[in-house]
Amino acid sequence: DQQVKQNSPSLSVQEGRISILNCDYTNSMFDYFLWYKKYPAEGPTFLISISSIKDKNEDGRFTVFLNKSAKHLSLHIVPSQPGDSAVYFCAASEGGAQKLVFGQGTRLTINP
Amino acid sequence: KAGVTQTPRYLIKTRGQQVTLSCSPISGHRSVSWYQQTPGQGLQFLFEYFSETQRNKGNFPGRFSGRQFSNSRSEMNVSTLELGDSALYLCASSLEAFGTEAFFGQGTRLTVV
């Protein structure tokens, strides 16, 4: 039973445009959500997080939106840059970052 | 401030052997979690240690075990290795407070032959 799902295995976006990565979850007990960026053979790098008491969080070019009623979150990257090309994972947890449930990842490719 | 350090970076082991991986968390972080990444299963939670006690455990067989020392450094052990244990093993450390992120190490790439 996959509690966190990223239904798009890949996404291709032109440089300078907006990248939107989506994530759905099924466990209503999740109250903390994170996005990580990952390159092959490296550990995930934290990007941005949001708790369930908020519906939006921004950090520079990255914005995460949370729709609790739909159990859906999305990551917006504006403007997209070539260095953003990587695999993006969303993760969810109950009560903190100690036990994360990850989605399967979305490979983002930014085209010049 | 130093990040999460995992050693070794790469390992090749034979089926049936055992292996120990090490993780040094960020200074001040007392929670250490371990994850396994494989192409088929993605990133899966193995277990979490806090103050030398295992607090959470994922759905892995008993061949996977771990421990944490008083300085928060952690080790994980896999006994009787199987080919399917080939994976990238990642360690993450975090503060105890809600709303803080987990920082990951570079991982240990284990290949079982």
pLDDT digits (tens, 9 = 90+) for B21-49: 999 999 999 999 999 999 888 899 999 99
Cα B75 to chain centroid distance, Å, stands at: 7
Contact A51 B50 (CB under 8 A): no
Tell me the shortest Cα–Cα distance from A19 to chain B, in angstroms.
22
- pLDDT value at residue A102: 96
Gap between the Cα atoms of A26 and B101, Å rounded? 21
- pLDDT value at residue B16: 98
Gap between the Cα atoms of A62 and B15, Å rounded? 44
Gap between the Cα atoms of B2 and B19, Å rounded? 25
Gap between the Cα atoms of A24 and A22, Å rounded? 7
Burial of A74 (0-12, 13-18, 19+ CB in 10 A): middle
- pLDDT value at residue B57: 92
Q: Which of B4, B42, B45 sits opposite A105 (nearest CB)?
A: B42
- pLDDT value at residue A110: 97
Six token digits for residue B91: 């360690």
DSSP secondary structure string for all residues of A23-67: EEE--TT--EEEEEEE-TTS--EEEEEEETT-SEEEETTEEEEEE
Q: How confident is the model at residue A42 (pLDDT cuts 50, 70, 90)?
A: confident
pLDDT digits (tens, 9 = 90+) for A54-98: 999 999 999 999 999 999 999 999 999 999 999 999 999 987 778
- pLDDT value at residue B98: 66
Gap between the Cα atoms of A80 and A61, Å rounded? 8
Contact A32 B31 (CB under 8 A): no
Weakest mean pLDDT among A10-19, A72-81, B25-34, B91-100: B91-100
Q: How confident is the model at residue B97 (pLDDT cuts 50, 70, 90)?
A: low
Q: Inform me whether the pLDDT recorded for A31 exceeds 80.
A: yes
Six token digits for residue B53: 């006690």
- pLDDT value at residue A15: 98
pLDDT digits (tens, 9 = 90+) for B47-85: 999 999 998 899 999 999 999 999 999 999 999 999 999
- pLDDT value at residue B48: 93
Tell me the shortest Cα–Cα distance from B16 to chain A, in angstroms.
25
Contact B48 A99 (CB under 8 A): yes
